[in-house]
A and B are shown apart, each in its own frame.
Chain A
Amino acid sequence: MLRLCLLAFALLTFTCPIRAAEPPDPLRLLPESSQLILKIEKPRQLAEAVVSLDVLATAQQIPQVRAVLESGNASRALQMLAYFERELGAKWPELLDRIAGGGIALGASLGDNEPALLVLQGTDANESQQAFELLVKVVEEELTRAGIPIKPEKRAYKGSTTVKLGDITAAQVGTVILVSNKPEPVHSALDKLKSGKLAGGALTNKSVRDARQRLPQNPLAWLCVDLATLKQSQASKDFFDATRKDFLQTIVVGSSIDCVRRSDYIAAGLFLEKTGFRLAVRLPAGRSEFPPEFALHVPPEGKMGSLPLLEPAGVVYSQSFYLDVAFMWQNREKLLNEETRTGLEEFEKQVSKILPGSVKVGDLIESWGPYHRLVVLNQEKLPYNTEPGQRLPGFGYVASMRDPKFARGLEAALRSGGVIGSLQYAMKYKQETFDGIKIVGYRFAEGKPVDLDPDDYRYNFEPCFCVVDDYFVLASSFEVARKLIPEVRRTAKLPGTPAVWKAKAYGEGGAELLTTVADPLITETILSEGIGLDEARQQVKYLAKYVRQLGTIRIELDERDTEYRLDVVWELKK
């Protein structure tokens, strides 16, 4: 009976699924005061996600990439990997799981020669030990081979052994491997390991905890930069002050920098999504505490952040954002420093000279809407019979209007500009109607050299403009304007998004652009690789095909009430 009971116990023990204990968090071993924390939660998952990308496999066929992979250093790195696999008896994904399956964490203080500690939390003590010893051996052999007179020194520390190699100190204890540029962080981590505590270290850092919670679930890797201490430095204070005083920086990145200024940390995470990857950046500060003058960056409560992106045929890049120029103009006394104001007043005077009498600069700016869209696109046809020295893509700008007088004023201003252009560059007036919309523009005279444009870039452009409902459209050519008119109408029916700034780059359009402007790229390929014309042409074709596979990259900036969100999303082509 007793035997039967023991047998039953043994069977239960070995057959029941037992959940293996989760390895402890490597963050516990990083100094609590670390200003930069990087953690790869599941190294194997991250590596496999990257390695399994089709675009990565295809990239290896690109001759330039192949050249790098075939170079001595790269091929040796691959050999070293194969050696580790051979010696440790497993393929790299499995090894990664055993040596760092509990995560890889890096903690550092920012600044020159500040301490940094790398922790690899493994799942198999035996494997960690073998890998560590093998690594020390390989490094020693490499140093000997290179004639560098540095030898690994084994040192005892409270019953543990550390290895010192030049400035680097490393140790392996159980399932943990530690590497640092200073001995102290390693010693401190060894003390913690000896104490057996599973908490403490960077886990108790409030910013780190908050940062992790602010990010979405299941990141492949994430990062936290502790700004609280960094902001105390005089250099940081000077930076924020200088930025605030700089007109251009205020316009472009003023709100972002203000959010950084008010945040105790920056959190960023890399995520695997169904269609690709997402890099999410989060700050615990938002628009609710913006100074009033920052209304130029964010819409009033309840209004959309930005209009839908324009995506006409052949689009390469599209951008949509909110910027209330009229608000800035009305509040220039508060927003701008004296120097900038004086410059602006001078600008107003100069521009007024060429504007028709009925148009005032202030009226023009105040009737300018806060929603802006830019688009870069491929053109199907060149606007002229004369080929430009270099073909450039077309581009367009679409502005919302607060008042139709914006269009009337700008039209008058552009016509004045056109008259000056026609005198200086022999430009000719052109007008056409497309889909009920009048497009007005100017063409350069052909066959007349212009000293300022020896490469004939001007033959890419026939600047023109038109008004589509509540939007003013400025285009680099009539073809671009014709493509934008239906697109403006289409997107007018779509809802906007809360993001105040967004942009998207398109692999398909980029590939088309590469084909259009292939000549300089082919030349670059010949000169970089020493190959002939036919081979270079093939390579550039291959590159264009590769770029087409890249899909799209989208960036969105959403400044919420109490949170700043920046997302970069790479959507791979299916």
Chain B
Amino acid sequence: MSLQGWVPDIGPYLTVAEVIEHAFDYRGNVTVMRHDGEELVGYLSNRDAAAPEPFVEVIDEEGEGPIRIRYADIVNIRFTGKDPAEGNSWKAWLERKEREKAQHAPSTSA
């Protein structure tokens, strides 16, 4: 199931660090919301929770970056971009092939 469109509800059952893990695994753009009210839209390409000062790295929509943001500065992350990993292209291709085969098959009706 894709996380596309997800707006996490940060609270006792979901931490920012957990949302960062989901965002790192997500292949679309996200919107990183900072405590200071700034927002950055881009692809979250890296994160290091074990660093002395945990950080994420984001490549923005223009391809600039990576822009490093500290975990401590992040209030939430929205999954705003289209998920390019979502979809059934292989299935769709097979279905199209089957349709083509059926169209080219000789008619069996009398």
Partners in one complex: no
